[in-house]
Structure 1
Amino acid sequence: MAKQTDTRTRIMDIAEAAVLSKGFDATSIEEIVAGAEITKGGFFYHFPDKNALAHALIERHIEVENELFDGLWSRARELSDDPLHTTLIGLRLLAELLEDMPNGHPGCIVATAAYQDRLFDQEVRQANRRAVLAWRRRFQDVFDELCATYPPRDDVDTEALADMIGTVIEGGIVMGKALGEPHMIVGQILLLRQFIRQTFEPRL
């Protein structure tokens, strides 16, 4: 059983690296099979087709992202129980995490699948939507808690502000790749952090 799990994980790791490098469409089952050193039958034992593989990659992405943000915000709450300070610390920790990646963020499976959504069935598209909505719910909860203690200086749609987190991160990844500046995302997150501070910090 462990060997089967290892093979499935290896297939997903190889596929994810290829997909983030060149997209789902340009990633063939043949190259994944060759990279994993298995037969096509071995691939199809774990994944009936590329839709099944894409679905598995997105589900794994959701789990990894949840663990990452749970960890960052848990650490932030250890450092402060104030909701504004916790949010600012969490964003700072996220920026530091991304800055520590020597070649920048490798890319996002969810964004890649969204760009090529016509390749996939409804199940994959729904999984991708669920991944995006998970980000929205997570950060909307953060901002709703923040508003309860620190009324914003202007009217704020917390759902739109939550979506702004994802927009800044995904946009930073894309811009960094386009410009060959892999760490520009760090500056974008810190600017977002400054905006949140200015929006919620009480006037003196």
Structure 2
Amino acid sequence: MSSSRERILDSFEDALIRDGERAATMEAVAASAEVSKGGLLYHFPSKEALVEGLSERLRSLAERDRGIMTAAPDGAARYYVRTSVFEDSALDRALVSMARLAQQGHPTAKASLADIQERWLDVLEAQLGDRTIARAVKLLGDGLYYDAAFFASAGTGRTSSREIEELLDVVDLIVAGS
């Protein structure tokens, strides 16, 4: 069983993803995590502390992903595009929940997402040798992710394995030309 702290962060993520920031109250998060409000406040004395905890989680998950991306046998560009599909992973959930906060103008969420995006772009640039080309690859992956994360539930936004392979062929052309 996960720790109370992790259950609280999971519940906060769930509330943000499902219902948005307004519904992600301290009371709702505590109830969903099955902890008392005092238990929640022990780990996170404020909603801002919850956001900071979620930011730390996201940064840790993204850094792990960045390491895998850097060492990917088929290259960072192919890795980035191939993994730019929403799979409801821990990283996906942390990204989407922080995006919900960023959409509301939350400064911690905006800063966390900007930093993570920059670090992924740096890995692509290191492989490709050109920031503009790296940005083009990144935007291709980001578009796939956006489509999958925000439209899959509506029955659209499902990119097939065949379509991913076709897009990876385009990535190969971009990498070959860089």
SS in 2 for 1:184: coil
Is contact 1:20-1:108 (8 Å) kept? yes
Larger-gyration structure (1/2): 1
1:197 is matched with which residue?
172
Structure 2: gaps spanning 5 or more residues: none
Q: Give the whole-Å Cα distance in 1 for the aligned partners of 2:50 and 2:124.
A: 32
Indicate conservation of the 8 Å contact 2:101/2:109, yes or no.
no
Task: Give aligned pairs, total.
Answer: 174
Cα 1:147–1:64 shift into 2, 3 Å = same
Q: Aligned match of 2:79 in 90, 112, 116?
A: 90
What is the CA distance between 1:53 and its match in structure 2? 0.7
* Counterpart residue number, 1:113: 101
Do residues 14 (structure 1) and 2 (structure 2) align? no
TM-score, normalising length from structure 1?
0.66
Q: Secondary structure at the match of 1:44?
A: helix
Contact 2:124–2:134 (CA under 8 A) maintained in structure 1? no
- Note closer, same or farther for the CA distance 1:14–1:131 as it changes in structure 2 (3 Å cut): same
Q: Which moved further from structure 2: 42-51 or 189-198?
A: 189-198
Q: Which string of whole-angstrom CA distances, capped at 9 and with x for unpartnered residues, describes residues 156-191 of structure 1?
A: 6256436525632542222334x3346339788656
**1:176 aligns to 2:152 (yes or no):** yes
Distance apart, 1:64 and its partner CA:
0.9
RMSD: 3.6
**What one-letter code is carried by the residue in structure 1 that aligns with 2:83?**
L
Change (3 A) 1:193 1:186: same
Distance 1:187 1:135 in 2: 27
- Distance (whole Å) between structure 2 residues aligned to residue 46 and residue 191 of structure 1: 46
Correspondence 1:127-142 to 2 at 5 A: 128-142=110-124
Secondary structure class of the residue paired with 1:157: helix
Q: Is the 8 A contact 1:58 1:109 kept in 2?
A: no
What is the alpha-carbon distance in structure 2 between the residues aligned to residue 127 and residue 159 of structure 1?
24
Cα offset for 1:112? 1.0
Match of 2:63 among 56, 62, 66: 66
In 1, distance between residues paired with 2:10 and 2:81? 28
